[in-house]
Structure 1
Amino acid sequence: MMSETALRDLNTLTSSDRKNESSSKGSFTKPFVGSANENVDVSLVSTHVNGSETVNASVEISNSEVEYIESVNLSDVDDLDTSLKTLLAGLDSKDWVLVCESLNNVRRLSIFHKESLLDMLEDVIPLVVKSLKNPRSAVCKTALMTAADIFSAYNDHMIDSLDPLLVQLLLKSSQDKRFVCEAAEKALVAMTTWISPILLLPKLQPYFKNRNPRIRAKASMCFSRSVPRLGIEGIKEYGIDKLIQVAASQLSDQLPESREAARALLLELQTVYEKSHDQPPTTVSENPEMGSWEHFCQSKLSPLSAQAVLRVTNIAREGIVIGS
């Protein structure tokens, strides 16, 4: 489902628009064959009239279909200087085919000339975000693929520009158009893979309180994927008590994806906690229960939250015992 800011009225395609759609070139586009499918640019726009919602079925089926090139299949740009000089104008063009070509050039530059593009990132990112908001699916999906490649190339250099990108990635991964949603998911995976969790986790946490349950779920999944990358020492330094409170808050969330992400995170935290509290055989604790996982949960959480967390982790432990 798209956010209100992403919903916009689409004008009927003019003859020049139709010409642009069919005048694609090179390997970028290929002739459209067959009936409309999920890879064709189809846009349904909701509008609000006097408080009531109506749906304008502005269905756009182009005469050509964008070929989405995987990163490993991208070739280098033909002329580096020309590509850099024309990049921003192309990204900001009203010609959607040129925008997609320019987005693919961003991808090529980030792969083959990352140092050359680095100084332009501050200007490039807002235009990639603009393309992510574009109601045309071809532009949006290409922008999502671009975001994934930028994360892969620039890692933590992206952190200061991440917020506007992250908003759109969570929105696009939460909508109903499957092939856009899948591209957004891949971009989020790239983000959690290439950006240091110590920097990323604070960026994700505010979205746990978002009104949209799908966005909460996607944020929870990203958070759960990122925490293990901290490692045992990193998790202890970040604070198991902070992390367990985050996970506990998602256990009762509306969507199963949020709850499953919370369960996975809790099991990770339990494993780290118990490993870090293992005592040498020669050490005898007067109060061994004080260092237990159960006591830790009860000391850091409300009684109801502690009960829910222990139920999850105890069931998992019992399953492991039975399975062994």
Structure 2
Amino acid sequence: MALRPLDNALPITPERPKKQTKVAISVQKQSDAGVNDENRAPFPPTSADATIDYISSENLKALPDPDISIQSLVDGLESKDWLKVCDSLNNARRGKVMLILLESTTSDAFDQLLLQLLLKASQDKKFVCEEAEKALKAMVGSMAPLSLLHKLQAYVSHANLRIRAKAAISMSHCASKMGLEAMEEFGLVPLIQLASDSLNDKLPEAREAARSMVTSIYAKLTEKEEEKQEAWQTFCQSNLPAIHAQSVIKVVSSQ
């Protein structure tokens, strides 16, 4: 028997679509910034001081009063706040600051500044390291190489390997700027001995800097010599231990 449709059956209505759940993300008000809530993660600082832009040396404007900057330069470099360190490194590359540095190469403040730049150039933080290296290059470019070389020679035997390497690099830059007269004023024998010491250093960058320094000394020393190799060998063998002399001679002969 066929089933009859039920007249009293309720009509089937289509199911209403479910509403999407709205997730409200509350933004912390300025007045709530200092509220201590153990159930709320702290918001990151939004200060613009959290970033620092690199400014190339040619775009750095001279400071109106560089004396003030020099007084606080070492303190800034010694700071644990890397933003202050970078700001001090920027100041170390400014023109007027370099002019004052030229006049203070005999002061204890300059010795402290040089040490801090070498320390910062030896750090693991890439940005700080690069800025310190640029400041050292600016120093070499602005100062008489002879004066700076006298300051740098103390760091060739420093206990810190990286400081030794950074000092060797700056010394090689100084040597490349010197003529024979300036080298003789410093002392050709002490100069080749410094290069020889760095040539046997553990770090490759120190050894590379030493090779560059040896090349500069060779070029100036033998500039007017007809028998360049013979004059060079005689000079090295007369002023260095045999094993060191052989290493220094090999630098030139292998080029």
Settle same-fold status: TM greater than 0.5.
yes
C-alpha distance in structure 2 between counterparts of 1:72 and 1:289, whole Å: 40
1:209-228 equivalences in 2 (<5 Å): 209-228=157-176
**Cα gap change, 1:236 to 1:23, in 2 (>3 Å):** same
Task: Encode CA deviations 1:93-150: one digit per residue, 9 max, x unaligned.
Answer: xxxxxxxxxxxxxx522xxxxxxx36xx3x6434211111111111111111111215
What value does the CA root-mean-square deviation take over the aligned residues?
Answer: 2.7
Q: TM-score, normalised by structure 2?
A: 0.74
Partner of 1:292: helix, strand, or coil?
helix
- Indicate conservation of the 8 Å contact 2:70/2:97, yes or no: no
How far 1:188 sits from its partner (Å)? 0.3
How far 1:68 sits from its partner (Å)? 4.1
- Choose which of 242, 245, 248 in structure 2 pairs with 1:303: 242
Name the amino acid aligned to 1:298: Q
- Choose which of 153, 160, 171 in structure 2 pairs with 1:205: 153
**Is 1:157–2:103 an aligned residue pair?**
yes
Q: Which has the higher strand share?
A: 1
C-alpha distance in structure 1 between counterparts of 2:156 and 2:46, whole Å: 43
C-alpha distance in structure 2 between counterparts of 1:71 and 1:291, whole Å: 44
**Is 1:263–2:211 an aligned residue pair?**
yes
- Choose which of 103, 112, 117 in structure 2 pairs with 1:169: 117
C-alpha distance in structure 1 between counterparts of 2:60 and 2:166, whole Å: 29
**Cα gap change, 1:258 to 1:289, in 2 (>3 Å):** closer
Identity rate, percent: 36
C-alpha distance in structure 1 between counterparts of 2:142 and 2:178, whole Å: 12
- Indicate conservation of the 8 Å contact 2:63/2:97, yes or no: no
- Indicate conservation of the 8 Å contact 2:57/2:93, yes or no: no
Higher alpha-carbon Rg: 2
How far 1:69 sits from its partner (Å)? 4.1
Residue equivalent to 1:67: 53
Residue equivalent to 1:42: none
- Indicate conservation of the 8 Å contact 1:151/1:194, yes or no: no
Name the amino acid aligned to 1:303: A
How far 1:273 sits from its partner (Å)? 1.2
**Is 1:315–2:254 an aligned residue pair?**
yes
**Cα gap change, 1:274 to 1:71, in 2 (>3 Å):** closer
Task: Encode CA deviations 1:194-232: one digit per residue, 9 max, x unaligned.
Answer: 111111111101111111100000000000001122223
Q: TM-score, normalised by structure 1?
A: 0.59
C-alpha distance in structure 1 between counterparts of 2:57 and 2:247, whole Å: 43
How far 1:289 sits from its partner (Å)? 9.6
Q: Which sections of structure 2, spanning at least 5 residues, go unmatched?
A: 1-32, 35-41
**Is 1:292–2:231 an aligned residue pair?**
yes
How far 1:311 sits from its partner (Å)? 1.4
**Cα gap change, 1:248 to 1:74, in 2 (>3 Å):** closer
C-alpha distance in structure 1 between counterparts of 2:97 and 2:244, whole Å: 36
